[in-house]
């Protein structure tokens, strides 16, 4: 009997890390639904990737996410993997300049949206006794940065991931998160080109590996956690950051050493 194609839903799949994940999962044999608040982006990736279904979806619209989950499963079959890559961002602002609206928008998309998508798809997976959820957090959820709302929302996503993993462990649903470091998606490349926000900074220079992350490298970790290859892994966060997290203390010692470049080590 032919094995049934596994189905993955990638929310925020129209651009950046989500789009890279759609491409990689489709290449690895998944049937992928790319859901995005931007219908053009969802349509474009569906046009590009064979077999991919594009869907306009706002992760903060709880009723819309519930409808989408029911419709996808009716049309395509049970969803095996959910990836939540939708994100809201913020300027680097001191607390007295952070508006309530900006704070709420970041929390609504990054935390509430992730919660509702996890709850809706995860409950369906738990009822069937199988599934894998991968939430996209951030290294800013693991250390201190001037992104007060964004970093706080991502720390909460890592907490949510752990709690749901404990909740659904015996129901066959694994829940993990991936925390990218600065990843060179179009959005960031554009900011860098225009010299806007803080993206002019050379983040890569502060990572142990001396460079930033490519979207496809984050997608590899996501696809691994979504797949059966990670069948005993749940409740963890995987930083994909070229060693940015571990390199921070090296700044006190003048930064990471340059490459050895063939120098003989004895
Ligand atoms: N790129 C990085 O350096 C980086 C670093 C750490 C974490 N992240 C996280 O990775 C995830 C993806 O970010 P990215 O850099 O690929 O950004 P991106 O802007 O390239 O892609 C995000 C996608 O999410 C969609 N989206 C936004 N709000 C939505 C909503 N309400 N409902 C559904 N879709 C929505 C956007 O339309 C877009 O297509 C985000 O959660 C982000 O916080 C990114």
Would 21 be classed as within a structural domain? yes
- Tell me, in angstroms, the distance from the centre of ligand 1 to residue 85's CA: 5
For residue 191, the model assigns a pLDDT of 82
Would 146 be classed as within a structural domain? yes
Would 171 be classed as within a structural domain? yes
For residue 34, the model assigns a pLDDT of 98
Would 29 be classed as within a structural domain? yes
Residue 168 in this model has a pLDDT that exceeds 80: yes
Percent of the chain with pLDDT over 70: 97
Catalytic residue flag (residue 199): no
Q: Which among 217, 204, 216 is positioned nearest to 244, based on CA atoms?
A: 204
* Tens-digit pLDDT profile for residues 26-53: 999 999 999 999 999 999 999 999 999 9
* Tens-digit pLDDT profile for residues 217-264: 999 999 999 999 999 999 999 999 999 999 999 999 999 999 988 787
Would 222 be classed as within a structural domain? yes
In which band, very low, low, confident or very high, does the pLDDT at 3 lie, cut at 50, 70 and 90? low
Would 249 be classed as within a structural domain? no
Would 164 be classed as within a structural domain? yes
- Tell me, in angstroms, the distance from the centre of ligand 1 to residue 123's CA: 24
Percent of the chain with pLDDT over 90: 88
Judge if the beta carbon of residue 17 lies within 6 A of ligand 1.
yes
Judge if the beta carbon of residue 153 lies within 6 A of ligand 1.
no
- Tell me, in angstroms, the distance from the centre of ligand 1 to residue 108's CA: 13
User: Phi first, then psi: what are they for 197, rounded to 5°?
Assistant: 50, -150
Over the chain, what is the mean pLDDT?
95
For residue 2, the model assigns a pLDDT of 52
For residue 199, the model assigns a pLDDT of 59
The CATH number for 14's domain is: 3.40.50.720
Would 186 be classed as within a structural domain? no
Judge if the beta carbon of residue 180 lies within 6 A of ligand 1.
yes
Judge if the beta carbon of residue 197 lies within 6 A of ligand 1.
no
**pLDDT mean over 121-130:** 98
Give CA angle at 136 (26, 48), nearest 5°. Answer: 30
Mutate-to-test residue for ligand 1 from 9, 10, 12, highest number of ligand atoms within 8 A of CB: 12
Range of the domain at 134: 7-181+214-242
14 CB-contact burial (10 Å; exposed 0-12 / middle 13-18 / buried 19+): buried
**Domain count of the fold of the chain:** 1
Q: How many CB atoms lie within 10 A of CB 107?
A: 17
- Tell me, in angstroms, the distance from the centre of ligand 1 to residue 86's CA: 4
Residue 202 in this model has a pLDDT that exceeds 90: no
């Amino acid at each position: 009997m032919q094995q049934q194609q596994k189905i993955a839903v990638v929310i925020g799949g129209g651009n950046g890390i989500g789009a890279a994940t759609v491409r990689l999962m489709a290449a690895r044999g998944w049937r992928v639904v790319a859901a995005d608040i931007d219908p053009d982006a969802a349509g474009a990736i569906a046009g590009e990737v064979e077999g991919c279904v594009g869907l306009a979806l706002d992760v903060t619209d709880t009723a819309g996410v519930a409808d989408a989950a029911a419709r996808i499963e009716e049309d395509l079959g049970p969803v095996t993997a959910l990836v939540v890559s939708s994100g809201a961002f913020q300027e680097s602002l001191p607390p007295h300049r952070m508006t309530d609206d900006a704070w709420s928008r970041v929390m609504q998309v990054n935390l509430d949206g992730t919660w509702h998508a996890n709850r809706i798809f995860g409950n369906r997976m738990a009822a069937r006794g199988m599934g894998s959820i991968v939430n996209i957090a951030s290294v800013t959820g693991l250390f201190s940065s001037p992104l007060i709302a964004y970093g706080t929302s991502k720390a909460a996503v890592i907490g949510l991931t752990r709690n749901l993993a404990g909740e659904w462990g015996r129901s066959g649903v694994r829940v993990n998160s991936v925390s990218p470091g600065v990843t060179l998606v179009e959005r960031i490349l554009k900011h860098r080109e225009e010299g806007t926000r803080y993206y002019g900074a050379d983040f890569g220079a502060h990572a142990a590996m001396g460079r930033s992350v490519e979207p496809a490298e984050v997608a590899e970790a996501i696809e691994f956690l979504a797949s059966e290859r990670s069948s005993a892994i749940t409740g963890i966060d995987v930083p994909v950051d070229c060693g940015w997290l571990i390199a921070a203390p090296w700044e006190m010692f003048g930064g990471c050493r340059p490459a050895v470049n063939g120098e003989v080590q004895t």
